[in-house]
Amino acid sequence: MSPSLNTVQLQTDGSIRAVVPYHHIQTYLGDHGNHSVETFEAPKRTKARVPSSAPFSSGSRENISNHTFNSVGGNMTQLNVTSYGESGINLLSRYVLTEALHDSGERFPEPACHPGTRTRILHSLKSWALDGSTESPLFWLHGSAGAGKSAIAQMFAGECQALGWLGASFFFKRRNSKRGTWDGLFPTIAYQLAKSVPSFLPSLQQAMDDDVLLVGRTMAAQFQHLLVEPFTKVSALQSVPIIILDGLDECADQKVQQQILQLFIGAVHEHRLPIHILISSRPEPHLREILESPDTLGMCRQSSLSADPASFEDIRIYLRDEFSRICAEYRTRGIELGIVWPSPDALDHLVNKFSGIFIYATTAIRFVEDPYRHPVDQLERILKLDPQSTAPLDDLYTEILSGVPHEPQTLRILHSIWQKTLPRGPGLDPEGIDRLFVLRKGTARLILRGLHSLCFVPSFRTYGQWCVSTEWLESSYLRSLIQLLSAPPVTDADWALYSEVVGSLPDLLRNHAPSDSLIRLLRQA
């Protein structure tokens, strides 16, 4: 494959040199160069948006309880008062984001705690929930990316549901068109409360009947009418309902995150609503500003996973169990990995290197158990990574990517999965990828079979599951690609990979939130 003209420069000695697409990098730095991961804000929204499923699409006719709207287009809406009998709660259900619920099938594979781990923090959460005290209605669980916050929130939500404590849950997800905004937050919370707190339903029903446009109102208006006012009419409760907001920092726009916090804090502080609220997020400064303010600090319990010594022991338990499982599986194939494998020193090294961050450990295990490579060799590759590196996850992903076949179709498939450009839904399995990219049936499975440490690939025996990337992969993957651009291609395969990276870089940068390490890397490119 010959290099394209826009990826090379002819040198005076007749040689060619790879060209890093600096104009895309400079554009990104111009937009974000003065920001750090602590200060970045997504573009601010100037007004509340009505969800796309709301009855306002141009030229449409939608029947709603006690009203009919004929949308003429533009800013003109004709209102005819009629009755079609749809209940307010049924109307509200249209705006519920089922994919944001803790038990949603659309979040498969859902995060989960390894057996025997996270016992300390789960005990603290249960004690807080049982307390039911109005003195500490808030609990802030925080930690760095990949520390396992969502897995803990998921586990706690399931236990609360089993005990009848769960009022509602909402799991945000960064850069997700639905779970990454606040649009469906309050309808989703209110609908769940109507199911979990029976005496909440009549007032919520009345609120929706009184104003069928309520779900398109401002954040404050929705919160007041969908949550606060119905709760003031709730009869005696057997237990205080728990509301779980996971990944609040993944909701677009820092000011929106702050307003959500302020609304819930006001609900328990000023309105004295009988609810407990678990908030999990990264320890971002704009969230600390509110949750550690003098007015809030006294009513909010905190737990930091980053500073929790138990996280190191949890990592040790996880690694020990997983390595034992791998040993047992290979033993059934007649392959002994060693009398003691890994060695105690190697296990200590990994525990210290992973620093209590579960995403490091889970990715490493997936890498070690690659079915097409020997686990002892795979582990040695991890142990040889720079022990002084401050970005162990980046190093691990780079090591994994170094073994990816440098073929255009391979990178195209990986880009599509990681950028989330493939249509999500039942049927987007490897066979669906074959159809999308017009590949011979079975090609996608052959390409992805050695990359299970980077993405989930469903079995051919399953239905309704699709390929998804490993959480937190995108940042490290983007940095790995930028580093790749600095190395001049040599072989035809290198040129194929390089050209593919150059072509995808603008979209990758356009859709990627800045971080300190990414900005530094771009400045060095």
Place of tokens 């905004």: 181
pLDDT: which is higher, 219 or 504: 219
Q: Give the pLDDT score at 145.
A: 80
Residue 93 has pLDDT above 70, yes or no: yes
Q: Give the pLDDT score at 221.
A: 96
Burial environment of residue 239 by CB neighbours within 10 A (0 to 12, 13 to 18, 19 or more): middle
User: Averaged over 408-418, what is the pLDDT?
Assistant: 66
Residue 65 has pLDDT above 90, yes or no: no
Confidence of residue 498 (pLDDT cuts 50, 70, 90): low
Q: Give the pLDDT score at 521.
A: 60
Lowest mean pLDDT among 263-277, 336-350, 351-365: 351-365
Q: Give the pLDDT score at 374.
A: 93
356-408 pLDDT, tens digit each: 889 889 889 988 998 888 999 999 999 988 776 656 666 676 666 666 655 56
Residue 120 has pLDDT above 70, yes or no: yes
Q: Give the pLDDT score at 445.
A: 80
Q: Cα 131 to chain center, whole Å?
A: 30
Does residue 109 have a cis peptide bond before it, meaning omega lies within 30 degrees of 0? yes
Q: Give the pLDDT score at 129.
A: 93
Residue 500 has pLDDT above 80, yes or no: no
Lowest mean pLDDT among 39-53, 150-164, 422-436, 452-466: 39-53
Confidence of residue 439 (pLDDT cuts 50, 70, 90): confident
Lowest mean pLDDT among 198-202, 295-299, 338-342, 442-446: 442-446
Max mean pLDDT range (48-62, 261-275, 494-508): 261-275
Q: What is the DSSP letter of 224?
A: I
**Residue 329 identity (one-letter amino acid):** E
Alpha carbons 270 and 262: distance in angstroms, whole number: 11
User: Averaged over 451-479, what is the pLDDT?
Assistant: 56
285-295 pLDDT, tens digit each: 999 999 999 98
Q: Give the pLDDT score at 247.
A: 95
Q: Give the pLDDT score at 77.
A: 36
Max mean pLDDT range (123-137, 393-407, 441-455): 123-137
Residue 116 has pLDDT above 90, yes or no: yes
User: Averaged over 484-505, what is the pLDDT?
Assistant: 59
Domains, in order of start, for the chain: 5-34+403-524 (no CATH), 55-84 (no CATH), 94-304 (3.40.50.300), 309-384 (no CATH)
Burial environment of residue 185 by CB neighbours within 10 A (0 to 12, 13 to 18, 19 or more): buried
Q: Give the pLDDT score at 146.
A: 82
Q: Give the pLDDT score at 81.
A: 35
- DSSP secondary structure of 80-91: E-------HHHH
- DSSP secondary structure of 321-341: HHHHHHHHHHHTTT----SSS
Confidence of residue 523 (pLDDT cuts 50, 70, 90): low
Dihedral Cα 360, 361, 363, 365, nearest 10 deg: 160
198-208 pLDDT, tens digit each: 999 999 999 99
- Residue 451 token pair: 């990359």
422: left (phi over 0), alpha (psi -120 to 50) or beta: beta
Average pLDDT, the chain: 76
Phi, psi of 177 (to 5 degrees): -60, -25
205-246 pLDDT, tens digit each: 999 999 988 999 999 999 999 999 999 888 878 889 999 999
User: Averaged over 8-26, what is the pLDDT?
Assistant: 50
pLDDT: which is higher, 508 or 132: 132
Alpha carbons 351 and 243: distance in angstroms, whole number: 33
Residue 21 has pLDDT above 80, yes or no: no
User: Averaged over 300-325, what is the pLDDT?
Assistant: 93
Residue 421 has pLDDT above 50, yes or no: no
Q: Give the pLDDT score at 402.
A: 64
Supply the pTM of this predicted model: 0.68
Alpha carbons 485 and 305: distance in angstroms, whole number: 36
